[in-house]
Amino acid sequence: MTDELFSLTDLDPAPPPRRRPRTPPVEHHATPSEPTEDLFAVDNPPPEPDQPAEESPPETADTRAPSTPGPVSAPPIGSRTPSSPPQGVREHASSAGNEDNPGLPALDTVPARVAGSRTLSKAPQGVREPAEGAGSVGGVGDRFEMCGELPAGTTVLEASAGTGKTYAIVGLAVRFVAEAGVDVSELLLVTFSRAATQELRERTRDKFVAVAAALADAETARDSDDELIRHLARAEAAEVGRRRARLLSALSDFDSGTIATTHSFCQRMLDELGLAGEHDPRVRLVENVDDLVATVADDLFLARYARGGPPFSVKEAHQLAAAAVQDRHARLVPDEEIGDHPAAERVAFAAAVRAETERRKRLSGLRDFDDLLVLLHEVLADPVHGERACRRIRERYRVALVDEFQDTDPLQWDILRRAFHGHATLVLVGDPKQAIYAFRGAEVLSYLDAVAHADTRRELTTNRRSDAGLLGALEHLMTGAALGHKEITVSSVAAVRPHTRLNGTVEPPIPLRLRLLPRAGAGPRNAAGFPAVGRQRARVADDLAADIVRLLDSGTHLDENPLGPGDIAVLVRTRAQIDLVRAALDRVGVASVLAGGASVFGTQSAVDWLWLLRSLEQPHRADRVRLAAGTPLLGLSALEIDSGGADLVGRLSQQLRESARLFARSGFAAVFEKLSAETELAPRLLAVAGGERQLTDLRHIAQLLDRVALRESLGLTALTRWLADRVRDPASGAVSDRSRRLDRDAAAVQIATVHASKGLEFPVVYVPFAWDSAKNPNPVTLLFHDGPDRVLDVGGPEAPGYGERKRRSEAEEAGEELRLLYVALTRAQSQVVAWWAPAYGTAFAPLHRMILGRMPGSAEVPGKCEVAPDPAVLEQLSAWAATAGPGLVAIEPVTKVPAVRPRWDRAESEAGELAAATFDRVVDTDWRRTSYSALTAGAHDGHAVAEETPGSDEPAAPAELDADAEIAGAAPSLMNDLPYGAEFGTLVHGVLELVDTDAPDLATEVRARCAHAIEELMADIDPDALASALLAVLHTPLGNGSLAAISSRDRLNEMDFELPLAGGDTPRAERVTLRSIAALLRRHLPEDDPFASYADQLDTIDDSVLRGYLTGSIDAVLRVPGPRFVVVDYKTNRLGTDDLTVAHYTRERMAAEMMRSHYPLQAILYSAALHRYLRWRLPDYSPGRHLGGISYLFVRGMIGPETPPGCGVFDWDPPVALVEELSDLLAGRLSGDTENGR
């Protein structure tokens, strides 16, 4: 019968569950690549980083929608200006379109030549003077001609918004293959994001197909509307046939080429370089290490400041850590001698986080995207093997075409420069005016340096997106302005469309409308005379909504079709502005969708899912059930919850329990489907305004939860914690596909951040907050440049020189704000509507500075422009608009936001009147869930904890014991050099819990368990040293053999218990307290017992009342011959500060440590728990026969069979009567005088 005791407790030696880090990263295993692998299929790329939605903007181009090429009418051969708009260009876009239209005019046919050769340049040292013939960014370069001479050497193609970057790259790829005979496997196309990569791949393949098909009939092809087809067909018939054959061959072997993001390219090169790249294919490639950085920040903050006042808050510590690691190549300042100034500690902390993060990444075998760049750069820059590696890359690729080059960083540019510059054809395509990713490490200076190194610079000068009138208005606004750098100026572009596409109204629409909201009507003003910025934002949002309603009701057409909501976009900077605009549109009945960028974890739907998960985790908690009931997932109103009372809560609790069991059986997707069906989720939400958005977000989050639960094998508790972390910081963690999805296909106004809109185009664009400065008045860190160096100031505002560094940082931010304004305004095809409103930050806002801070046509745009009184501003803006020319710019003063009729009627709410509940109960503070650790916490540090974890009762510091001669001559401890503390205790407990003593090779088993545990905890411990020490622990004699000699069937690991305590739910007249236990000890322990005096020590602890539940976990219960059952507890306490020996762990020293740490209380509580367990499990249970006492194993004093008797192992056999009476006492069965002692 005793066998059954262990047979039901899962003691068979089975593979243990994998212990995960606190928040596991998303993995991507880097594996060696075969030459025949699908390189062109986006290189099987690792996931690109998702971007946060608010101050950390979203990744560009992820929402880019490809355009369908159409035929174009060609002007006469040799014409440099198109004589008419291209035919076949899409008449209007009801949703986002691509900025690149394929209809470039036909140009002279110039014979192609293949790439030449130049001497490899040195590494970039800042921005050089332009190379001869390269031109300057701010000057006028030669116009790029699609059918002109093929680029050779290093060429920079500088674009402007809407001038067709992607079309140029695709066209060049076709020409290099068809004309120059470059094999498709020798072609490298690099772009910015996964979405852009996929689009570029599809468009390149489609173009190859279209051109090859057209060249089948050379005569017809010579008259094609496509200039590229005409150009390739204008050759001798044999040559046209060869060109077509090359294209067909390329299509048949299309996947041998490479179209990839920069990071995918680096990963592939590391794989292909093999030993030259020193690349370990076993490492895990993760999207980011945000969770690891947060853990490092917490650990270092505690380690450095736990014993003293921290110099900054935990929140600042996390911000410093995130900035230091995200900009890991930036130089930390202040770096001059500042002594013991608090700023020095901030710099030291940031540097320590960087170093520790890199160390833990190495220990865990983790790499992020930036590591790929660093590794490949180190290989290429190696003084011995670097040139050989560069040569192998050049042998692989003869032509490299790089898109969005303005968003590169110095490391990426130096990789490209070393690999290709001077030895192969390298074409860099970008628009420095759209360089808006400095927060992510992108450097517009890298673009300028590339221009300086380039052999040739060409410009894309024809805008195919915007109407001529709008281009004229924007030219009046921005042409000539330097956007943050003297070399980055806005130049004029030619318009293909001479007339506006907006029509149908009596008066022709004005391309650029600027609406002015005065101070009047905005409420109270501050000392400077400005109204609150929040009030001004709300007024602008309301005016925007009203203006959109008027526009939609005005009869305006876009070409032949009525202008609809889907033709309108609203571009903002932050998530808060998105919510403001969306709410305003919702109030007037205008449908809207989020065009991308914001994290779905920052929505109310994520909070709703969190409440539901918490109720699934603990369905017995009425408060959690009520919270879940009020979410859209269960769909009950507050009145229904209130009127339903306890009966409703009971029914919902049962439903949630069933769902929790379903999760365990079938996974999270099954739970969502069950809830959706039972609550009619989709029909219910789609019947209310905004329901589409809610349903989309709820489904999106459900898919992410299902994915992470499957991938990481998460239970309900871990899954709830994972979502709570995401909700707390929506941008944290390695989660792909976090950006909110479109919630409807029907026409709706599109709301997007400026970053997310890059690469998109819309007929009408609203820019409501360009008057509102995004400047943070109190940044934790500052980012700026010192010559070519990127500098991160982490010293804080009290640091010496902070003012000057802040001025430089703000100057660079002001330049990027101007580039963001350029991106926002150039998304429009036909009309832009913007606002000006006076507030405290308006003086720093980009639109205000651009119009009122500079003379038209001049380059300098000040970083600040004082805000004049409203009448003066109106006068200045009116004069400025008048100089633009008739019908281009309209200044529209707004006296008050007009009321508009909503475009649909809303159903009246049936929620009824609600009142806040009143709390009228008396809280029973004695009833609680407690543990040994919680009961004794006050005796150590006053911080009580509710639950125990293995190793949590280990002291943080070693005990200070006097050295003596006996210790000096004793055998050394095998754990002398290993760390101490709760974290190490947890590690040791984990290994001893999982080790299989029945393994045929116990040494190998222990070594594997140690290595695995160290890797999971990212501990800096030698696994061989730990394994050797623990193997000795397993072989140390215990009196009944050793741990190694006890079969797994005779050992019950981590026996969790939860015992009901005295009184239950009803308080007793006689309270059971710790002093009641002390009285039992006095009555039952003889004077010669090592713990006879412990009762007096127990009286010094806070006299906690024992009501509720007692919880705990016994490290191990051993079944020894008899059978007897022994409680075992592992202790890693370090009993001494000098070199440890076994003599530090004599019985007397161990007894003293047990008294100091209150282990006797733990021992008798665990004995009582085992007593109750055995009484329940064994029919013939007899305490005197079956209870085998307690063994405390001080593992640092256990060195194997050579361990001296009495060292390392402390055995104690408490009287059976004590254990029985303690069990009765805890149950509330009092006997005798337990309050007054002996």
What is the Cα–Cα distance from 675 to 656, expressed in whole angstroms?
A: 9
Contacts of 39 (CB under 8 A, 6+ apart): 185, 255, 256, 257, 258, 259, 260, 268
Q: What is the pLDDT of residues 215-274, one digit of tens each?
A: 999 999 999 999 999 999 999 999 999 999 999 999 999 988 899 998 889 988 988 887
- Report helix, strand or coil for 767: strand
Q: What is the pLDDT of residue 176?
A: 96
Do residues 1085 and 1216 touch, judged by C-beta distance below 8 A? no
| End-to-end CA separation in angstroms for the chain | 40
Q: What is the pLDDT of residue 221?
A: 92
Q: What is the pLDDT of residue 932?
A: 87
Q: What is the pLDDT of residues 958-974, one digit of tens each?
A: 555 444 545 556 899 99
Do residues 1091 and 1081 touch, judged by C-beta distance below 8 A? yes
Tell whether 263 is in a known binding site: no
Q: What is the pLDDT of residues 701-714, one digit of tens each?
A: 999 999 888 888 88
Residue 475 in this model has a pLDDT that exceeds 90: yes
Q: What is the pLDDT of residues 787-832, one digit of tens each?
A: 888 999 999 998 988 999 999 999 999 999 999 999 999 999 999 9
Question: 1116 — phi, psi (to 5°)?
Answer: -160, 150
Q: Which of 258, 235, 289, 280 is nearest to 173 (CA)?
A: 258
Residue 1129 designated active-site: yes
Do residues 145 and 495 touch, judged by C-beta distance below 8 A? no
What is the Cα–Cα distance from 1194 to 1145, expressed in whole angstroms?
A: 7
Tell whether 159 is in a known binding site: yes
Q: What is the pLDDT of residues 640-677, one digit of tens each?
A: 888 888 889 999 999 999 999 999 888 899 999 999 99
Least confident of 121-125, 749-753, 1215-1219: 121-125
CATH number given to 602-728: 1.10.486.10
Q: Where are the domains of the chain?
A: 494-598+744-777+823-893, 602-728, 927-977+1050-1226
**Strand pairing partners for 1147?**
none
Output the six-digit token pair for 596.
Answer: 């991308």
Per DSSP bridges, beta strands 749-753 and 568-572 are parallel
Do residues 1050 and 6 touch, judged by C-beta distance below 8 A? yes
Do residues 1133 and 955 touch, judged by C-beta distance below 8 A? yes
Q: What is the pLDDT of residue 1138?
A: 77
Tell whether 989 is in a known binding site: yes
What is the Cα–Cα distance from 1101 to 455, expressed in whole angstroms?
A: 81
Q: What is the pLDDT of residue 16?
A: 39
Mean pLDDT for the stretch of residues 442-448:
81
Residue 1232 in this model has a pLDDT that exceeds 80: no
Mean pLDDT for the stretch of residues 1065-1084:
81
Mean pLDDT for the stretch of residues 1199-1221:
95
Q: What is the pLDDT of residue 96?
A: 40
The structure tokens 């014991």 sit at 961
Q: What is the pLDDT of residue 66?
A: 37
Q: Which of 1129, 1139, 1213, 1233 is catalytic?
A: 1129
Do residues 132 and 432 touch, judged by C-beta distance below 8 A? no
Contacts of 891 (CB under 8 A, 6+ apart): 514, 516, 874, 877, 878, 881
Tell whether 1115 is in a known binding site: yes
Contacts of 1164 (CB under 8 A, 6+ apart): 1077, 1081, 1214, 1218, 1219, 1222
Tell whether 645 is in a known binding site: no
Tell whether 579 is in a known binding site: no
Burial label for 135, CB within 10 Å (0-12, 13-18, 19+), is: buried
The helix or strand, by DSSP H or E, that contains position 494, with its residue range, turns out to be strand 494-497
The structure tokens 């100091």 sit at 1156
Q: Is residue 280 very low, low, confident or very high in pLDDT (cuts 50, 70, 90)?
A: low
Amino acid at 714: L
User: What secondary structure letter does DSSP report for 972?
Assistant: B
Amino acid at 829: Q
What is the Cα–Cα distance from 1223 to 1059, expressed in whole angstroms?
A: 10
Least confident of 161-165, 307-311, 718-722: 307-311
Q: Check: CATH 3.40.50.300 for 494-598+744-777+823-893?
A: yes
More confident residue, 664 or 690: 664
CA atoms within 13 A on the CB side of 1120: 23
Q: Which of 485, 459, 489 is nearest to 156 (CA)?
A: 459
Question: 898 — phi, psi (to 5°)?
Answer: -70, 150
Q: What is the pLDDT of residues 119-175, one digit of tens each?
A: 333 333 333 333 333 433 444 458 999 999 999 999 999 999 999 898 999 999 999
Residue 495 in this model has a pLDDT that exceeds 60: yes
Residue 741 in this model has a pLDDT that exceeds 80: no
Q: What is the pLDDT of residue 592?
A: 87
Tell whether 160 is in a known binding site: yes
Residue 629 in this model has a pLDDT that exceeds 70: yes
Mean pLDDT for the stretch of residues 1081-1087:
94
Residue 752 in this model has a pLDDT that exceeds 80: yes
**Strand pairing partners for 399?**
187, 425
What is the Cα–Cα distance from 951 to 367, expressed in whole angstroms?
A: 30
What is the Cα–Cα distance from 363 to 1014, expressed in whole angstroms?
A: 9
What is the Cα–Cα distance from 402 to 406, expressed in whole angstroms?
A: 10
Q: What is the CATH architecture assignment of 927-977+1050-1226?
A: Alpha-Beta Complex (3.90)
Tell whether 78 is in a known binding site: no
Tell whether 423 is in a known binding site: no
